[in-house]
Structure 1
């Protein structure tokens, strides 16, 4: 996946990967289509952070979910 391209497909891919990594039970609330390419750089930052860590603490998962909530539909 070439994430250097700022497009909706890449936004949706990154959101799906973040949801998988975080094992988000509320994944249905995080519809990839709700995220705009306007926030591509922020979403990619979150994606790279999540993917760089082998494990995430509960507080990290909560902080990431909060950040994604801010970016969704904004």
Structure 2
């Protein structure tokens, strides 16, 4: 996947990958389509953080989930 392109498809791909990696129980509430291309760089930054770590602590998961909540389109 070429994540250098600012597309809605890439946003949705990154959100789904983040949800899978975080094993988010609230994944259904975090619809990938609720994220806008306007926040692409921010979403990509969260994606890169999540994907770079082998394991995440509970506090890291909570912080990342909070960040994703703030990035969702209102």
Distance in structure 2 (CA, Å) of the matches to 1:4 and 1:23:
25
Q: CA RMSD in A?
A: 0.6
Matches within 5 A, 1:35-54: 35-54=35-54
Matched residue, 1:11:
11
- Segments of structure 2 that go 5 or more residues without pairing to the other structure are none
The aligned length equals 74
> After the TM superposition, which residues 1-74 of structure 1 pair with which residues of structure 2 at under 5 Å, given as runs?
1-74=1-74
TM-score by length of 1: 0.98
The whole-number CA distance in structure 2 between the counterparts of 1:29 and 1:44 is 20
> Is there any run of 5+ residues in structure 1 with no aligned partner, and where?
none
Query: Where do 4+ consecutive residues of structure 1 move more than 3 Å?
Result: none
> Aligned equivalents of 1:69 and 1:58: distance in 2?
16
